[in-house]
Structure formats: C-alpha cells, structure tokens
Structure 1
Amino acid sequence: MKIVHILTRLLRAGSEENTLLTAARHVAAGHEVILMHGRDVLPEFARALAPGAELVAVPNLVRNLSPVQDPAAFLEIRRLLREIQPDVVHTHQSKAGIIGRFAAASARVPLVVHGVHILPFLGVGPAQKAVYLGLERATARMTDGFIHVSEGMRRACQDHKVGASRQHFVVPSGFELSRFRQAVPPEGWRDLLGLGSDAPRPVVIAMLAVLEPRKRHLELLREIAIFLKQLPELHLVFAGDGHLWSAIEDTIRELDLENQVTLLGYRTDPERIIAMADICIHTAEREGLPRTVLQTLTVGRPVVLFDLPGIEEIITHGVNGFIVPQEDWEGFRERLGQLVSSPERRAAMAAEARATPLDRWDADFMARRTLEIYEELLPRSLLREAPA
C-alpha cells in the first residue's frame, strides 16, 4: 500500500510524533510511506522517528492563512499526488487537513482520511468558529474516514454534524509505553535544577509542551507567580521548545522567578523529566487528548490540568489527577496547592496514576488499528494488492 501523510508542520509536537511513529511501523510492515509537509520542518527529527519514510516538501504550505500561498499549496499538493498516485492520503492538522483533502479529492485519490488531533472550531470566538466549522463540513464531504485521538473529539465532530457517524473512528495517540513505565530521573537532575550538592530537594512541578500560545505558558507564569514565591521549596520546569522561548525567558525575569523556574528546552528523554517531577501540569486551552498527560500517568505522576474534550477517558478527578474548568486559575492554584502541601496525597494519586489502564495507547496498537481502518475503507480492488 502506498500511503501519503500530509502535515502543515513536521516539528516536535504530539500530532507529528503520532504520525511518525505510525509511519515507522507501516514502513516496517512493507508499505511505502511518504510524509508531505509544509515549510516548517525538522527533517532530522522526522528521519530519526520514521526511518524509511520519504520526506516531500511543499514550501507554500504554511500555518497562517495566506491568499497567495494557500492556492499555490493546493496546486502543488495536487500535482504531487497525481505523480505519486497513492492508495491513501491521510491528512493531519487544520491547514493541511483542509488543503490536503481538497487536493486529494481533485487528484482522485482512492481513500482520503483525516486525523483529528485537535478541532479548530472548539475554544474560539463565534466568527472563527463559523469559518472553521464551515470548512470542516465542506471537506467532510470528500473525506472517507476520520481518525480521532479520543472519544471526545469524535463526539464533538458528531455533535457539530461534521461527517456521518459511520465515518468516525477512534485510535488513541500511541507512544512507547514500556519506555515510560521504566522511567527514572536523569542522573544530573541537580544540575538541571541549578541545585548545589547540599541543597534540599525541592517539590518539582513539570510541564511538557511546545512553547506556543495555545499551551499558555505566559498566562501560567503570571497566574502562579505569587503562589511560587510564597512556597520557595517549589521548582517549576518547562520542557519543550518553540517560538515563545524568548518571551517566556523575559517573563521569568520580569517576575523575578529565575531561581524557581527553569526552561529545559526540547528533551529526547521526556520520561526522565516526568520521573524527576512530583507533580505534572498541563494548561492548554485547546487540545485533543494530550500525549504528555498520558505519558505522565504511565510514569506514575498526578496531573493538574484544565478540562479538555475527552479528558475523562483517562483522568478520574481527585483520583489520578485534578480536572479544573477552563479559565479557572484560582481553582488551578487551589488543586496544585493541595498536592504541594500533602506528600501523602501526592503518593496516593501517583499510585493511582500508574495503575491507570493505558494499553490502548501503545504505539504498535495505534499503527495496527490505523492500518485496519485503511483496509476497511479501501476499495476491494486495492486490498488485493496490499502487502500481506
């Protein structure tokens, strides 16, 4: 089977990692996989996670709306698809999802699938919602199947009449479960936190997320600055990279939090950062089912986060984590304070986190189930030609 994935960006984020892990396993199973991506790309990262998959650049595919580049990207993708003649086009992310599906339909690709990692019409103003929802409904007519990362995403699509019920499937966003189940803190954790050899160990709060506005690092800093200063035994670490790095650095200095907040940058060992932490947090305003939250539970750490569609699939409020209503920063601080002040509560919730059943989030299951959906949807004539 020849499979083309189309992504707006191919950087170090959840939707990209999900796609790359799936692609790697499909290549290993004997399928031809092509990763078609926009201007923003980290090719070394992609090749490391998905060796054997071919990278094809579409320079006009950019994240922001562009009346010049968007039509050019459509024509470019359609031309490439006509040359490649794939059996399956699987789009990801909002921009690539719209342009890629229009291009795939125009190129008469046999099967067009869209991966729903996040829904652009949720958590935005009425005008934006109307535009995004109109585009999603239009492209749904040329989509054979939707693969959602959570039941919450599927329900949101069905509630908003995006596609027919029979088109929607749920495949949890997988990762290497065994790696996180066996995680231990990094050997140099004191150096990472800037601690001397005699300094007492602080209570470590970790947030693993791309440094972009939707994750709300800047709001978090301003909302918990006083909370941190009142509890000097706390240390907050941000693991991740992104274009807000300088703004976050400036805000840390402005709030005089240099001794309590550390920017770690992108880490190839996120499981070790989680294992170093006592508590993990997640403050995204819009998201599918966050992989880092799943990874946090796998390592065995309680999490405090804002409510997201489908989050109740994995977080039982007050048991393995705390779910706070969106924008309720006072409630967020209160729940965080409860965990900080009670080592016994942290330990009990950590044990519940580790006991959370997460086998469905294994990367091998994700790749296998995705392939089954392709085969279920593809015309029978193509199935006869697919590798055994």
Structure 2
Amino acid sequence: MTHTICHIITKLELGGAQEVALYTVANLDRARFRPVLLTGPGGLLTEEAKALPGVEVEIVPALGREIRPFRDVLAFLQLVRLLRRTRPTVVHTHSSKAGVLGRWAAWLTGVPIIVHTIHGFGITPTQPAWLHWVVIGLERLAGRITTRWIAVAQANVEEGVRWRLFDRARVAVIRPGIDPRPFQAPLSSRERDRVRAELGAGPRDLLVGMVACLKPQKGPHDFVEVAARVCVRVPSARFALIGDGELRAMVEARIQALNLAGRVRVVGWRRDIPDVVRALDVFLLTSHWEGLARVWLEARAAGVPVVATKVGGAAEAIVEGRHGRLCDVGDVSGLADRLCEVLTDAALRDRMRAAGGQLPAEFDIREMLAQCEQLYDKLLTSDRGGDLVPDHRAAESIRYARRGE
C-alpha cells in the first residue's frame, strides 16, 4: 500500500527549504510513498529535480514569490488542477506563498492531510506593521485547515504560539538536517590553498565567507558594511560572498563605492560548497530572518567558527562562545566587533574549531527524513485523529466521492 505525498514549494532556487524538499521527495521509502513535487518555474534546481528517479515533478507556471493578485489566482487554479490529477493523500507545503495557496488548493480538492513546514517567518522589524498583520492573518486562516505544522526551530514554535497560529499539540520540530560527512572530511593543504585563492585570499590571509542567495532576507548589504569596518582593523582580512541573486548588482556597486574591490569578492554560486566552507577561517551570516539556516550546521560540521545574527534557531544551532558569536539583526558594528574578536584571537578560533566537527543526530538529514516519514505514518493511520485510513483506495474513494469523480 502506497500513499501519494505531494510537496509544494514556490521556487526551486538554491536554498535550505528547497534542498530539504528535494532530499525528502528523492529519498522517501518507495514501498510506502509515491512522491510528487509541484513548483514554480525558473529555479536553479528545477532540472536537478526533474532528473530525480521515481519523482513526478510538475511546474506550476504562474507560481512565483512576488505578490501579484491575478497571477496568484491563476497559480491557485493551476494547483487545484494538478492536485485533482495527482490525487495525493498528503500535501506538504513549504515557503509562504506555496504554503498559503497550496494548503487552500489541497483543502478545496479534498486532500485529507495537509502539512506545512515553517522555514522561518518572513517578518522583520523593517516591515510596516500592517504587513505583519496581513501575513499573520493569512497564516491564521490557513492554519484552520492545516493538519500538522512542522517547525525547523523551537524559536519558530514560540513565535507561532505567540501569534496564535497553532497550539503546541499541532506542531512538531523537525530540523532541516545536512549530510555532515563532506564537511568533516579532511581537506589537503594544496586544495585548501587553491580554493582560498579562487575566493581572493592567500595562505596567510584570514578569509571570511558567506554562502547565501543575495536577497533581502540574507542581508548581503550588511555583510559588505561589516567587511568595511573589519578591513580597517584587520589588514589581513579578506571576504567572499558565495552566491548570486537579485541584490548582486547593488552589492557589487557598494563594494566599489567603499574601495573594497581588493578585499571583498562576489564569486557567484559554486558546486563545491563543502570545500569552500572548509577553506574559510570564519563563516559570517548576516540574515534578517531565518528558520534554522543549514549553513550554520555546515560551518559547525566543518569546525569553522560562526559569527551570525540572532535570528530564528541560531542559538539552537550555534552555542554562543562555543561555536561562534551571535549579534542582533542589523547590528553592523556589533557584528564587526565580534568578528574582529574571533579573527584576532587564534586560540579562540582553535577552541571553536575543536568544539565543532560532530553534530547531534537531530541535525543529520537522514534523521530528518526518518522523522518526516514517521509523521506521515502517524497522520495516515489517524486521519486528523479521527477515522483510520487503513486502505489507500478506500481513502481516495472517500475523498473524491464528494466531488462526483
């Protein structure tokens, strides 16, 4: 007996939520689950998704991140059509846009089990208050039809409870794990020097890097401002932004304006991220909001000290003073101070490096998959805590009979 599990995500760009969704559909137990993935067009990972064996991938042409009422209605209708065709037992949504449209499309088409993963709430202090309440209101409405929520960090659970999106009985914490092994493998001195040279650093320089999509969430402008302050105080410091995105031109213009072209480099996306992370002296993440950033875990697995903003589950992944240093969102001066402390204290870096390396099992991507499958099994045998769903064909007959199909 197999159940169709349909994951819906707005766009398969390079990012943690996307990698979690791809890993899940690629590795679900085929004896129990049939994976389907619905996504908007244009993502860098779309072709990789289409190549996954045994995974049905469908593009939703009108689905995108921007709020465009006409296209959003069209995307909703396209989701309804695809769900009626694929007939899933479980719909599992990721990200804000796909989370709202996907859950309501699942409800309209009679899907009995609706799961939504919170990869961080996209609400920041810089946004107007009215927008906060619009987002919270939409999530509250969608929460009424959500069977179970998944939070990637306990901090997100507390936010959701405070905003009355759900009660604690309806949310499970499942970490967005990584495979730590590539980050723990030794990197030869020759390879390390090669990667560092490609990132703009020599063997004796202190290399600070950030792997991120260059979009407002990640605060790449803050990264540049921190670099400007640190370069004055630490002459050997070099900075590398590994990633691309909508803010790249703005970031590069700011680097030129601050005369940092020889000290700060934007290198675009690379496929050798484990090598890149292991080649760094410090990992800097200037995010304005997160759930639980997988790059924190990657840096920790590699034994690279982390300086980051205190967003989402940062304190759950990075222990202050042990694996790195944490600062308030947007505190450029504070981030620069903490980064200088780490860069100028080799003994501190060594202690932080020694504290990393081994990750708790909860942060392993294989544990994430196992917990997700266990959650599906629990929901499938309880059907929202009411009638059992003992037979896939019977469940489908019940769901679609009310539409006369």
TM-score by length of 2: 0.89
Q: What is the deviation of 1:365? A: 1.1
What is aligned with 2:176?
A: 173
| Contact kept in structure 1, 2:208 and 2:283, CA below 8 Å | yes
- Specify which of 123, 128, 143 is matched with residue 125 of structure 1: 128
Q: What is the deviation of 1:74? A: 1.0
What is aligned with 1:267?
A: 270
What does 1:112-261 align with in structure 2 at a 5 Å threshold?
112-123=114-125, 124-182=127-185, 184=187, 186=191, 188-194=194-200, 200-261=203-264
1:22 aligns with 2:24: yes
| Contact kept in structure 2, 1:12 and 1:45, CA below 8 Å | no
Give secondary structure in 1 for the equivalent of 2:241: strand
- Specify which of 81, 90, 95 is matched with residue 93 of structure 1: 95
What is aligned with 2:346?
A: 343
Q: What is the deviation of 1:45? A: 3.0
1:78 aligns with 2:80: yes
AA matched with 2:299? T
| Contact kept in structure 2, 1:150 and 1:310, CA below 8 Å | yes
Moved more, 19-28 or 275-284: 19-28
Q: What is the deviation of 1:106? A: 0.4
Deviations along 1:247-279, one digit per CA (max 9) or x if unpaired, are: 222222222212111222212221111110111
Alpha-carbon distance between aligned partners in 1 of 2:268 and 2:30, rounded to the nearest angstrom: 31
AA matched with 1:40? G
| Contact kept in structure 2, 1:237 and 1:261, CA below 8 Å | yes
What is aligned with 2:33?
A: 31
| Contact kept in structure 1, 2:28 and 2:369, CA below 8 Å | yes
Q: What is the deviation of 1:328? A: 2.0
Cα gap change, 1:27 to 1:53, in 2 (>3 Å) = farther
Cα gap change, 1:246 to 1:183, in 2 (>3 Å) = farther
What is aligned with 2:402?
A: none
Q: What is the deviation of 1:101? A: 0.6
Cα gap change, 1:247 to 1:121, in 2 (>3 Å) = closer
Q: What is the deviation of 1:103? A: 0.6
| Contact kept in structure 1, 2:184 and 2:302, CA below 8 Å | yes
Cα gap change, 1:86 to 1:11, in 2 (>3 Å) = same
Moved more, 264-273 or 221-230: 221-230
Alpha-carbon distance between aligned partners in 1 of 2:84 and 2:25, rounded to the nearest angstrom: 21
| Contact kept in structure 1, 2:41 and 2:63, CA below 8 Å | yes
What is aligned with 2:65?
A: 63
Alpha-carbon distance between aligned partners in 1 of 2:300 and 2:390, rounded to the nearest angstrom: 38
The alignment yields a C-alpha RMSD, in angstroms, of 1.9
Q: What is the deviation of 1:384? A: 4.3
| Contact kept in structure 2, 1:11 and 1:45, CA below 8 Å | no
Alpha-carbon distance between aligned partners in 1 of 2:114 and 2:26, rounded to the nearest angstrom: 20
Give secondary structure in 2 for the equivalent of 1:354: coil
Alpha-carbon distance between aligned partners in 2 of 1:256 and 1:376, rounded to the nearest angstrom: 57
Cα gap change, 1:286 to 1:190, in 2 (>3 Å) = closer
Moved more, 94-103 or 174-183: 174-183
Cα gap change, 1:190 to 1:306, in 2 (>3 Å) = closer
Q: What is the deviation of 1:122? A: 5.0
Alpha-carbon distance between aligned partners in 2 of 1:293 and 1:30, rounded to the nearest angstrom: 32
| Contact kept in structure 1, 2:40 and 2:59, CA below 8 Å | yes
Moved more, 30-39 or 201-210: 30-39
1:5 aligns with 2:7: yes
Give secondary structure in 2 for the equivalent of 1:280: strand
What is aligned with 2:332?
A: 329
Give secondary structure in 2 for the equivalent of 1:40: coil
Give secondary structure in 1 for the equivalent of 2:222: helix
| Contact kept in structure 2, 1:184 and 1:271, CA below 8 Å | no
TM-score by length of 1: 0.93
| Contact kept in structure 2, 1:22 and 1:363, CA below 8 Å | no
AA matched with 1:364? R
Q: What is the deviation of 1:30? A: 5.3
Q: What is the deviation of 1:46? A: 2.4
Deviations along 1:126-161, one digit per CA (max 9) or x if unpaired, are: 111110000000000000000111111111111211
Cα gap change, 1:321 to 1:113, in 2 (>3 Å) = same
AA matched with 1:78? V
| Contact kept in structure 2, 1:87 and 1:382, CA below 8 Å | no
Q: What is the deviation of 1:194? A: 4.2
Deviations along 1:28-85, one digit per CA (max 9) or x if unpaired, are: 555211110113323223246x443121011111111112111111111111111111
AA matched with 1:216? G
Q: What is the deviation of 1:353? A: 2.4
Cα gap change, 1:329 to 1:62, in 2 (>3 Å) = same
Cα gap change, 1:130 to 1:314, in 2 (>3 Å) = same
Give secondary structure in 2 for the equivalent of 1:274: helix
Moved more, 95-104 or 357-366: 357-366
Identity of aligned residues (%): 30
- Which structure 2 residue ranges, 5 or more long, are not aligned? 394-405
Give secondary structure in 1 for the equivalent of 2:42: strand
